[in-house]
Chain A
Amino acid sequence: MKINLKNNEVAVRENRLGSITAYNGSIKDFAEKSGCAGCGDKKRCFSQSSMCNNMCAIGQLFSIYDAAIVQHGPSGCAAIAMGAFMNDLLVKAVGKKPKEHSAYTCTDMQESDTVFGAIENLKDVIVETYNRYKPKAIFVAASCVSGVIGEDMESVIDDLKDIVPVPIAPVHCEGFKTQIWASGFDAAFHAVLKYIVKPAQKKTNKVNVINFAGGTSWNSRADVTRLLAVMGVEPTFLLSTSTIEELEHLSEAVATVSTCGTLSSYLGNGLEQEFGVPFIRSLQPHGIKGYEDWALKLAKELGKEEEVKAYLAEERRIYLPQIEEFTKKLKGKRAMIAMGPSYSQNYARILQEFGMVVEHVTSWHMDDLYDDGTVPHALQYQMDNAENDYTFSVNDLQNYEFVNILKKLNPDVFITRHPAGMIVWSMKLGIPAYNVRDEYTSFGYVGTLRFAKALYYTVTNKSFTDNLAKHVKLPYNEWWYHQPADAFFVD
């Protein structure tokens, strides 16, 4: 059993899900070798800055409306706290009032702490954080330093249980333990499942929607809510802007769905295994096939297939002709994708629906099997259905690798999804690019239409890209572009 809430920490994805961060081949090759397990993982003798699990773990937990974060580490580890303003905007976007303070503190570890340990100061900071902000729960985040010097994070729970009257949840997200930042999602959800979620007292009409930003762009939240209303249920958007009370009752939901397979594996499967909440296993709701599969599988679980089919038929009547109008203009355009493992495979499918030619897919990592032992649906779909044997690579944000591939392929458009400026490297090369910044970009028929238009306009007016490319240079030596992208892989 991959999920065991009795353990203090969850194993990282490399060990638990057989995940990899290095591969260079093609989708058919990947399929023939039986995915990650057959291909195996590689290391690199040259690498560029990636991301860590702590960022993903705390990114999730920090967005809970009434929890506090205590980062046990040096000041730099708490840099995520500087994003509080963004959280406030999200909170406002869903109609709540931002907190006066962000309730994110740090033990600010110094050199002497690395020698003598700092558990006593950690306890003081937890108590002070509680006294200042009266949060409904406190998540205590580990760091590389706390991990390397062997701080006993669990000891604070017992020591403070009579002083701090809310759950204190250690989060084991020491950055050096994994090359896969998504392991941080699991660390966060392990803390939520172990310390926050309570056994169900009753069943509600709620569906847990595991997502990132709660569908606040283009009012996608309303699109989700409208679809669920057809099935007589209501969404609880997780974790951003949710409350600890909502999290306590996740066990009472009738089902769990998600926008992202990578994000949701641990929480979705954990809720099913430990609390019996059915986890809907489908394509993610992006593009036409993904949306329909997602909606109908949920409908089947809830016994509302006829109602949902009728609803989808009406939406199809409105949107499909409009989508068709734009996809016929996109037909034959060559594209490269670089995104997380779930989104990259979902977006490959969308481009295929548009009649575009997927030339290459880069995934930031790949999971072999999710926590329930299933192959990721969107990947399976590509292994079974991809029309052309496109080249496929796995790298953990290794910019030099995908720029190498991008320059050689020179596609009509580059489509990426990551919050740290991935798109500009393509534009600097003169290749127009689109950043799928919001997870609901292609949600449902309405989102698919929106995305088709955005792509069409991206390839239609290339002025900015042309201008930029004329004036800037990428930070690589010409030599590099003549090497194979996997030149620095080592066994």
Chain B
Amino acid sequence: MTKILDEPRYVCALGALQTVEAIYKAIPVVHAGPGCTAKVSIGGRSGYLGTQTVPCTNVGETEVVFGGEEKLHDVIENSLKVMDGDIFIVLSGCTTEIVGDDIDNVVGTFKDSEKPVLSVPTAGFKGTNIEGHEWVVDAIIDQYLSKRYFGEKIKGLVNIWGPVPSYDPHWVGNFRELENLIRELGLTPNCIFGEYRGIDNINLVPRAKYNLLVAPWVGLGNVKNLKEKFGTPYLHYPTLPIGAHETSLFLRTVGKEFNVDSNLVEELITRKEKEYYYYIERSCSFFFENRASSKMFSTVASADYALSLSRFFVNDMGLVPSKQYITEGVPEEHYDRIRQYFKEFNYEIEAEVVFSNDGYQIHQQIENDDYAGTPLILGSIYEKKLASKLNGTFLCVSTPYAERVVIHSSYVGYHGGLKLLEDLYTSVFQKFN
């Protein structure tokens, strides 16, 4: 069968460098060709680091012919002098792995340096940026956290994992809102990604009482690894909680699992839902009294958004799912479990899941399906023209999301659900309605 990637929705494993950049003052050191960093920086913005401040060996013909170990050694050594960082993570690319550079050996010579230096093999042909994300976190656990003792467990401390930095368009806001929800439960969140979250947060990871993974599949290996290494129990909650229904379920589940007083949880939920429905009540009319709203929808997105948005639109908004397309190259071992998640909607509603990275075929299927009127398509930028062709409503929620600028917003939580509705109905109101 032809292996074809048509209209790519992810990049290669080296894209994990965005995971490193998401840790404040973590410095990726890329051992790859001159263009690799720029290419895989799909959500690239100017943070503490930017694409062009990332140390890189810019591997050329000399390194391909004679090996690049010496160059790598020099670049790591001088990165430690030039770059103001707290942890340095070497990421290797295709060429250096094919020519057989012994990267572990080079990195090993820095084991006594003041700042930790780790390495992760992220050759592009080995996997996707989403898998690479998990490998980076594992490297931090195995090569740094496991090497020394960071102190006793701290009561109520919860590590939060889930969103893939930069690949999830709302990752910063999503982490922030997950932290807020955990805080509302009287627990203490710890996250290693986002707003000034850095080495101090990494150092807290082994001291947490619990790990919370909010994602359908990516990160599962990490929380299992943390359980094995530090004996920390984990809760795997597959859905990013969006809107009232899911957020309340999330709070109940987390509260129960992490031993929070159920009275406190129920009081919190009552208060939050009351607030949420004030705004819903004010807006009901234009959700349902216009010519451009949809009854059926498809997501064409990474598994986290496909699942979370499906649950929001079915369980909160009363829509009916057509096929849901999951596009980030999910490893097959997760297929059955993810399919099951789409069979657990209200009123025994189920959705068919299609795992595909072939935009052309996905579009053909959508065109052939009946949406009982105008379809709602929640996808990447590739679906914009399709939605327009089908006179549908479109919201860009998944990579590549070139048309949107996301600075601070999030779809997580009660407020996130309202933000999603603002974005969606702004889109509906662009049309005659």
For B15, the closest partner residue in chain A by CB is: A76
B11 and A79 contact, CB distance less than 8 A: yes
Partner of A79, one of B8, B25, B34, B78: B8
With A and B bound together, what is the CA distance between A473 and B49 in angstroms?
10
| Chain B residues in 8 Å Cβ range of A121 | 2-3
In the complex the two chains form, is A110's CB within 8 Å of B61's CB?
A: no
Which residue of the partner chain, among A46, A88, A110, A111, contacts B74 with CB atoms under 8 Å? A46
B38 adjacent to A51 (CB under 8 Å): yes
Of A107, A145, A422, which is within 8 A of B52 by CB?
Answer: A422
Q: Please, which residues of chain B bring their CB within 8 A of the CB of A177?
A: 60-61
Q: Is A464 an interface residue (CB 8 A)?
A: no
**Nearest CB in chain A: distance from B69 CB, A:** 13
Find A45's partner among B10, B13, B74, B123 (CB 8 Å cutoff): B74
B382 to A, closest residue via Cβ? A84
Of residues 48 through 105 on chain B, the ones whose CB sits less than 8 Å from some CB of chain A are 48-61, 63-64, 71, 74-75, 78-79, 81-85, 93-95, 98-99
B52 touches A52 (CB 8 A): no
Which residues of chain B are within 8 angstroms of A39 by Cβ–Cβ distance?
A: none
Distance A479 CA – B82 CA, assembled complex (angstroms): 7
A49 to B55, CA, bound (A): 6
A148 touches B99 (CB 8 A): yes
> Which residues from chain A contact B63 at a C-beta distance below 8 Å?
176
Given contact pairs A148-B99, A399-B52, A477-B83, A128 touches B4 in the complex (Cβ within 8 A): yes
Q: Which of B55, B94, B399 counts the most A-chain CB atoms under 10 A from its CB?
A: B94
Chain B minimum-CB-distance residue to A132: B360
Q: State whether B55 touches A108 (Cβ < 8 A).
A: no
Complex contact A178–B60 (CB within 8 A): yes
The answer to the question of B39 belonging to the interface, with a C-beta cut-off of 8 Å to chain A, is: yes
Q: Does A236 contact B (CB under 8 A)?
A: no
Binds B, one of A98-106, A157-165, A282-290, A307-315: A98-106
- When the two chains form their complex, are residues B34 and A82 in contact, meaning their CB atoms are under 8 A apart? no
Please report the C-alpha to C-alpha distance between residue A228 and residue B51 in the assembled complex, in whole angstroms: 40
Contact check: which of A52, A132, A420 meets B44 at CB < 8 Å?
A420
Q: Is B164 at the interface (CB under 8 A from chain A)? A: no
- Give the Cβ gap from B14 to chain A, nearest Cβ, in Å: 6
In the complex, chain A residues whose CB is within 8 Å of the CB of B359: 101
Within 8 A of B (CB), among A385-406: 396-397, 399-400
Q: How large is the interface on A (under 10, 10 to 19, 20 to 34, 35 or more residues)?
A: 35 or more
**CB-nearest residue of chain A relative to B83?**
A475
Which residue in A51, A105, A107, A129 is a CB contact (below 8 Å) of B35? Answer: A51
Question: Is B402 within 8 A of A86, CB to CB?
Answer: yes
Binds A, one of B124-132, B200-208, B306-314, B420-428: B124-132
Q: Which residues of A lie under 8 Å from residue B10 when comparing CB positions? A: 75
Tell me if A429 counts as interface (CB < 8 A to partner B): no
B385 at the interface (CB under 8 A from A): yes
Q: A79-B8, A102-B7, A476-B83 are in contact. Are A47 and B75 (CB under 8 A)?
A: yes
Q: Are A76 and B40 CB-contacts (below 8 A) given A49-B34, A49-B58, A477-B84?
A: yes
Contacts of B99 in A (CB 8 A): 148
Tell me, yes or no, whether B46 is within 8 Å of chain A by CB: yes
CB-defined contacts of A143 to chain B, threshold 8 Å: 94
Asked whether B12 lies within 8 Å of A75 as measured between CB atoms, the reply is yes
Q: Separation in Å of the A208 CB from the closest CB of chain B?
A: 28
Bound-state CA distance A424–B60 (Å) is 28
**What B residues does A106 contact at CB under 8 A?**
4-6, 8
Whether the Cβ atoms of B4 and A107 lie closer than 8 Å is: yes
Q: State whether the Cβ of A50 lies closer than 8 Å to any Cβ in chain B.
A: yes
A51-B35, A177-B61, A488-B78 known; A76+B53 contact, CB < 8 A? no
Q: Mark A272-314, 1 if CB is under 8 A from B, else 0.
A: 0000000000000000000000000000000000000000000
Establish whether residues B8 and A55, one from each chain, have CB atoms under 8 Å apart when the complex forms. no
- Looking at B14, B54, B402, which has the most chain A CB atoms within 10 Å of its CB? B402
Number of interface residues of B (CB under 8 A): 79
- Chain A residues contacting B2 (CB-CB under 8 Å) are 121, 124-125, 128
Q: Which residue of the partner chain A has the closest CB to B125?
A: A74
Cβ of B360: which chain A residues have Cβ within 8 Å of it?
Answer: 101, 132
> Does A48 touch B at the CB level, under 8 Å?
yes
- The minimal Cβ–Cβ distance linking B385 to chain A, given in whole angstroms, is 6
A122-150 Cβ-contact flags toward B at 8 Å (1 or 0): 00110011001000000000011100110
Contacts of B13 in A (CB 8 A): 76
Q: Is the CB of B402 within 8 A of A85?
A: yes
Contact present for A421 and B402 (CB under 8 Å): no
Partner of B34, one of A74, A83, A396: A396
Q: Is the CB of B34 within 8 A of A104?
A: no
Task: Tell me whether B403 is interfacial, beta carbon within 8 Å.
Answer: yes
Is A77 an interface residue when CB atoms closer than 8 A count as contact?
A: yes
Interface assignment of B42: CB less than 8 Å from any CB of chain A: yes
Q: Is A238 an interface residue (CB 8 A)?
A: no
- Closest chain A residue, CB of each to CB of B17: A49
Known: A77-B124, A84-B382, A110-B125. A55 touches B4 (CB 8 A): no
Residues in B whose Cβ lies below 8 Å from that of A77? 12, 39, 124
Which residues 119-139 in B have Cβ within 8 Å of A in the complex? 123-126, 128-129
When distances are taken between beta carbons in the complex, the residues of chain A under 8 Å from B51 are 49, 420-421
Q: Verify A421–B35 contact, CB threshold 8 A.
A: no
Known: A145-B125, A176-B61. A50 touches B402 (CB 8 A): no
Q: Do A54 and B55 touch (CB < 8 A)?
A: no
**Binary contact track A158-186/B, C-beta < 8 Å → 1, others 0:** 00000000000000000111110100000
The reply to whether B5 and A105 form a contact with Cβ atoms under 8 Å apart is yes
Additional 17 contacts, C-beta under 8 A, given A84-B382, A475-B27, A480-B81: A46-B55, A47-B58, A49-B51, A50-B58, A75-B5, A75-B12, A76-B124, A76-B129, A102-B382, A114-B94, A114-B98, A132-B6, A177-B60, A397-B52, A400-B53, A421-B44, A479-B82
The 5 residue pairs across chains A and B that have the minimum distance between CB atoms: A52-B35, A76-B12, A74-B124, A49-B37, A46-B78
CB-defined A-B contacts under 8 Å, sample of 24: A46-B81, A48-B54, A50-B52, A52-B39, A74-B124, A75-B128, A76-B40, A76-B129, A79-B11, A82-B8, A82-B381, A84-B7, A105-B6, A106-B8, A107-B3, A129-B4, A176-B34, A176-B61, A420-B50, A424-B50, A473-B84, A475-B53, A477-B82, A488-B78
Q: Which residues of A contact B (CB under 8 A)?
A: 45-55, 73-86, 88, 98, 100-102, 104-111, 113-114, 121, 124-125, 128-129, 132, 143-145, 148-149, 175-179, 181, 396-397, 399-400, 420-422, 424-425, 472-477, 479-480, 488
